[in-house]
Structure 1
Amino acid sequence: MNMEKLPSYVRMLKDDAGEQFDPGVVVSEMDKGLAKMRVGQSRVVVQVTATLFFRTRVDSQAFEDWYFNEIRRIGWFDWRDSRTGQARSVRFKGGDIGKLLPLASQYGKAQRSVTLEYLR
């Protein structure tokens, strides 16, 4: 089975990109002194915020077709992490691809803000 890839016509803008993760630590508060901590999860979910940019109206429509027909809203796909250069298997957090915002008249250029997630 081949893994889908983020389509090549989708550009990721770096202006508002970011990365965070829940450390997966369990904290037990103590009556006195510092809280005790232990690792609660062997792997953590990393979330990467990004803006997807579409150069044409055709590209934004093609992306929606890919989203609904290829990954079926919740599927995993390959994405090259621009920070590390690694290929990662990611999905859209909650299946959400955000609001399509026009940057030119009649959506000639457009963007979507998304959050990608993967297990580290």
Structure 2
Amino acid sequence: MATWPTGMRYDWRDFSETPEPVVERSQMERGVPKQRRIASDARVEVQLTLHFDTAAEIAAFETWFYTTIKAGQDFFDWPHPRTGATVQARVVGGELGALTYLRRPLDKAKRSLKIEYWRSTW
């Protein structure tokens, strides 16, 4: 299994996690709405903004993305920054966000993307 590139930096201020609900809510004609469990695992979507200091870092990440994980198709081991656990994640829809340059020599840049993983809810 592929692993997340070592030394990849992302800003904690841009880091967000959104879990999908595992219950379905049904409004009743009268009374309290009913809820029932529909899944045993929750898909968690993580928004990241990656930071690159050199053109070599940009090229290395793109090589990892396009060759190692086949343009985002494959899962990879990702060290979760909040829990410290290693989870199996993948890029949502294989969508690699826009590369935004931060200075004129076009070497320092940032890129946003979403990854997803599943966690047990039992």
- TM-score, structure 1 as length reference: 0.92
1:35 deviates by 1.1
Query: Match of 1:22?
Result: 20
Give 1:66's aligned residue. 64
> Is residue 45 of structure 2 the alignment partner of residue 47 of structure 1?
yes
**Larger proportion of strand:** 2
May I ask how many residue pairs the two structures share in their alignment?
118
SS in 2 for 1:115: strand
State the distance in 1 between where 2:101 and 2:13 align.
17
Q: Give, in whole Å, the separation in 1 of the partners of 2:4 and 2:99.
A: 17
Structure 1 unmatched runs, 5+: none
Q: Quick one: distance in 1 between partners of 2:56 and 2:17?
A: 29
Alignment of 1:90-109 (within 5 A): 90-109=89-108
TM-score by length of 2: 0.91
How far is 1:34 from its partner?
Answer: 1.9
Aligned equivalent of 1:81: 80
1:31 to 29, 32, 41: 29
Please, which runs of 5 or more residues in structure 2 have no aligned partner? Answer: none
For the 8 Å contact 1:49–1:113, the answer to whether it is kept is yes
